[in-house]
Structure 1
Amino acid sequence: MASRTHSPSPAGYSEPFVAAVLDDALAHDLRVYAIAGLQGSGKSTLSAQVAALAATRGLRAVVLSIDDFYLGRRERLALGREVHPLLATRGAPGSHDVPLAIDTIDALREGRAAKLPRFDKIADRRLPPSKWPTARDTDLVLFEGWFQKVPAQTDAELVSPLNALERDEDADGTWRRWCNAVLGRNYPPLWERIDRMLFLEGPGFEIVPEWRWQQEVTLQKANPDRQAMTHAQVLRFVQFFERVSRQALRTLPAIADRHVRLDATRRPLDPLPLS
């Protein structure tokens, strides 16, 4: 895939946009506000900005990512042996500890103390619980991720492979059918914890490899003594997300309570009015 020259990972969204997102959450008196968007869309940056603004208003906001709840490497390797080798790689539905995510969000919703899982993406492992921060008396949970509330596909939609990974390593469809079944069965109880959701709609999946590479470059710069993914590894990695990502682009504009279109530099193209 050819690389285009757009801005690097976002320095941040504008103050009025961040304020509008927080106001949208507070106007509906909710506890869990989801910020969804494809890889590299800036949802982590926006979540951190909203949490920081909430703090200036005397509110305790906690940011959680669906990535915090990846299964450990041992569990994924077991899935790779028992179901399909592609399941050893994190990313697709089925590679998360959904019960842990539900328990964590339920505790935060109820104002109880909760330890917040953390995942080391370079080491590809979950940090031990002794290194998880603890949140108490939470007013607002900002739950960010790339496929919140995405519905499963039909059997007919799963027949044809859509990229080289599926064509060469999942020719009979075992992996994608398993992930799709888990998406439709295991994740809805987690999505039910979401009170309201904003979808950051990028211009298309074609921008994701570039955005995801920008993330990896940033991660590498922050960890100069460790080895992040190479460009070739990132291009392979995004193929694990492609099917569900395209399903998100098709379905989330109608599912999300609010959705904002982004251009290729992550600049919002739509206002965010309150309803």
Structure 2
Amino acid sequence: MVEHVLTHLENHRARFSTISSNSSPSSSAAPPPLFVGAQGPQGSGKTYLTSRLREALGKKGVRAVVMSLDDLYLTHEGLVQVAGGNLDGSERTGNVLLKGRGLPGTHDVQLGTEVLGALKEINGAVGVDGEGSFNKQGRTIELPSFEKSLFEGEGDRLPRGEGKGTVVSAPPTVDVVVLEGWCVGFYPVSDECLKRRWTGAKQAEGGGGGGWEEGLTESDKASVRGLMGVCEMAGVRMEDVEEVNEKLKAYVDWWQMLDMFLQIKPPEHSPYAIIYKWRLQQEHNMKSRNGGKGMSDEQVKRFVDRYIPGYVFFGDGVTKGLEADVKAEEGKCDNEASVQGALTARRPSWIGRGLVITIGEEREVLGVDSF
């Protein structure tokens, strides 16, 4: 993993050096950081691995910053509002998938865009008419911080400006920025794909039965198969998934900032069942360190239940990207609004620079491959 990052960092620096020398031979501008996406399911060890990656790179003279998607969650008040509830504890009808932090729609997109954009420019290399320029003034950024143990495990984002988040300053140069999270690199899907997977998932959940694969693509089957005997999407409506799909569109601009990718993947024979075990271990570990504050085992199960549809419908976007709507491809949108709303195909920026690490139930490495 370290060598993979170092190889692409060297290539990244070489590309910037070529662009910089062509535009201004006397320029000494530092290149922008290499942006690395890191995705893995809850409890898989991605936070541990990315922290170890940062340490290993540091020993080689490479300065890396790790930012978690979790720290971009809305404030507790914002999460309550998104969930369709009231601060007094009463509830309104809402999307069951958004009743708590986790899925796209529960993050502060504006804040994420602001922070990632600032990190992209922290070394002073900014785009000016397509060319590189250098701002000698230093930059300081306080990364957001979300405390998961607050509000009985519902969590809250800590106030910025009070020194509670990691403070990143340049100079010295920031060489690598890692954005890690369970749904980093997930892409929205077309209406046709969503409907196919919805039909297959409802037939396959809880053990399924014959015929659930009918009409599904191979990618659909791989995404849906893990549901059988593991999770029942009781109470989840197709419009709930459609809303999350719509919210996910705003995240694509974040993904387009990524230069390369690291993925931690569970074994294909039990991609979802193993997540429950891992996430429960993670919660127990946190509670052992903070005096017992956090979720109960039953709350953890319900918590993970909400995440599973995210893997089923959007998880293969890491390697596939964005599939175009049939109507968009064929030019059959009815009006200007539908043209703007239709999805057009988009290839992930990291394809050809991705590394996938498959791990087993005890998080042992089963295989490493590139994509």
TM-score band, normalised by the shorter chain?
0.7 to 0.9
Matched, 1:145 2:200: no
Q: Under a length normalisation based on structure 2, what TM-score does the superposition of the two structures give?
A: 0.63
Query: What SS does the aligned partner of 1:128 have?
Result: coil
- Structure 1 residue 84, shift from structure 2 partner: 1.4
CA-to-aligned-CA distance 1:237-266 (integer Å, 9 cap, x gap): 001110112345544355662212111121
Give 1:268's aligned amino acid.
V
Provide the residue aligned with 1:20 in structure 2: 3
* Bigger share in helix: 1
- Structure 1 residue 35, shift from structure 2 partner: 1.2
Give 1:232's aligned amino acid.
E
Provide the residue aligned with 1:135 in structure 2: 168
Q: 2:110 aligns with which of 74, 94, 99?
A: 99
Provide the residue aligned with 2:241 in structure 1: 176
Q: 1:158 aligns with which of 198, 201, 212?
A: 198
Give 1:125's aligned amino acid.
D
Provide the residue aligned with 2:53 in structure 1: 50
Provide the residue aligned with 2:279 in structure 1: 212
Give 1:190's aligned amino acid.
W
Give 1:140's aligned amino acid.
V
- Structure 1 residue 61, shift from structure 2 partner: 1.0
Provide the residue aligned with 1:167 in structure 2: 234
Q: For residues 74 and 165 of structure 1, what CA distance do their matches in structure 2 show? A: 29
- Structure 1 residue 24, shift from structure 2 partner: 4.2
How large is the Cα RMSD of the aligned pairs?
2.4
Matched, 1:115 2:146: no
- Structure 1 residue 272, shift from structure 2 partner: 6.0
My pick for the range that moved more, 204-213 or 149-158, is: 149-158
Q: For residues 187 and 132 of structure 1, what CA distance do their matches in structure 2 show? A: 22
Provide the residue aligned with 1:6 in structure 2: none
Give 1:259's aligned amino acid.
V
Matched, 1:229 2:295: yes
Q: 2:309 aligns with which of 243, 248, 258?
A: 243
Report if aligned partners of 2:356, 2:368 keep a CA contact under 8 Å in 1: no
My pick for the range that moved more, 69-78 or 80-89, is: 80-89
Query: What SS does the aligned partner of 2:37 have?
Result: strand
Q: For residues 185 and 93 of structure 2, what CA distance do their matches in structure 1 show? A: 24
Q: 1:89 aligns with which of 95, 100, 105?
A: 100
Report if aligned partners of 1:37, 1:147 keep a CA contact under 8 Å in 2: yes
Matched, 1:31 2:34: yes
Query: What SS does the aligned partner of 1:122 have?
Result: coil
Q: 2:364 aligns with which of 258, 267, 274?
A: 267
Q: For residues 53 and 108 of structure 2, what CA distance do their matches in structure 1 show? A: 26
Unaligned 5+ segments in structure 2 are: 13-32, 85-91, 123-138, 207-230, 322-350
Query: What SS does the aligned partner of 2:36 have?
Result: strand
Q: 1:75 aligns with which of 72, 75, 78?
A: 78
Report if aligned partners of 1:201, 1:249 keep a CA contact under 8 Å in 2: no
Q: Kindly indicate whether structure 1 or structure 2 has the higher relative contact order, using CA contacts under 8 Å at least 6 residues apart.
A: 1
Distance change (3 Å), C-alpha of 1:25 and 1:127: farther
Q: 2:263 aligns with which of 199, 216, 232?
A: 199
Distance change (3 Å), C-alpha of 1:77 and 1:165: farther
Report if aligned partners of 1:73, 1:88 keep a CA contact under 8 Å in 2: no
Report if aligned partners of 1:102, 1:190 keep a CA contact under 8 Å in 2: yes
Report if aligned partners of 2:83, 2:94 keep a CA contact under 8 Å in 1: yes
Q: For residues 309 and 11 of structure 2, what CA distance do their matches in structure 1 show? A: 33
Q: For residues 194 and 258 of structure 1, what CA distance do their matches in structure 2 show? A: 13
Distance change (3 Å), C-alpha of 1:250 and 1:99: same
- Structure 1 residue 152, shift from structure 2 partner: 2.0
Matched, 1:126 2:152: no
- Structure 1 residue 76, shift from structure 2 partner: 1.7
Query: What SS does the aligned partner of 1:266 have?
Result: coil
Report if aligned partners of 2:188, 2:246 keep a CA contact under 8 Å in 1: yes
- Structure 1 residue 21, shift from structure 2 partner: 4.3
Unaligned 5+ segments in structure 1 are: 1-17
- Structure 1 residue 192, shift from structure 2 partner: 0.9
Distance change (3 Å), C-alpha of 1:139 and 1:198: same
Provide the residue aligned with 1:3 in structure 2: none
Report if aligned partners of 1:107, 1:113 keep a CA contact under 8 Å in 2: no
Query: What SS does the aligned partner of 1:189 have?
Result: helix
